[in-house]
């Protein structure tokens, strides 16, 4: 299934939407909790990745400003 998602492209969100849909209908709280944890981990890793990319992009300018002081 992972290879199928790679072939379709990064904009295919059907597996994630199905997971959230079935998790909301689940009777067990542990399933709902685990989906929430996975979603939160994905959000956290995205935010950390964007922040890291921003720091890598702006690091030469930040270094130049503090180096000039």
- Cα gap 21→39, rounded to integer Å: 13
Q: Give helix 14-25 / helix 29-68 axis angle, nearest 10°.
A: 130
pLDDT in tens, 1-54: 455 555 555 555 567 677 777 777 878 888 788 888 888 888 899 999 999 999
DSSP conformation class of 56:
H
Tally Cβ neighbours within 10 Å of residue 26: 14
What is the reported pLDDT for 34? 85
Closest to 36 measured CA to CA, from 18, 13, 20, 21: 20
pLDDT at residue 63 above 60?
Answer: yes
Q: How far apart (Å, rounded) are the C-alpha atoms in residues 19 and 26?
A: 10
């Amino acid at each position: 299934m992972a290879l199928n998602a790679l072939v379709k492209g990064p904009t295919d969100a059907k597996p994630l939407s199905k997971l959230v849909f079935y998790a909301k209908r689940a009777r067990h709280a542990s399933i709902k909790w685990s989906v929430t944890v996975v979603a939160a981990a994905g959000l956290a890793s995205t935010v950390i990745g964007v922040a890291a990319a921003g720091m890598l992009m702006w690091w030469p300018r930040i270094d130049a400003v503090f180096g000039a002081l």
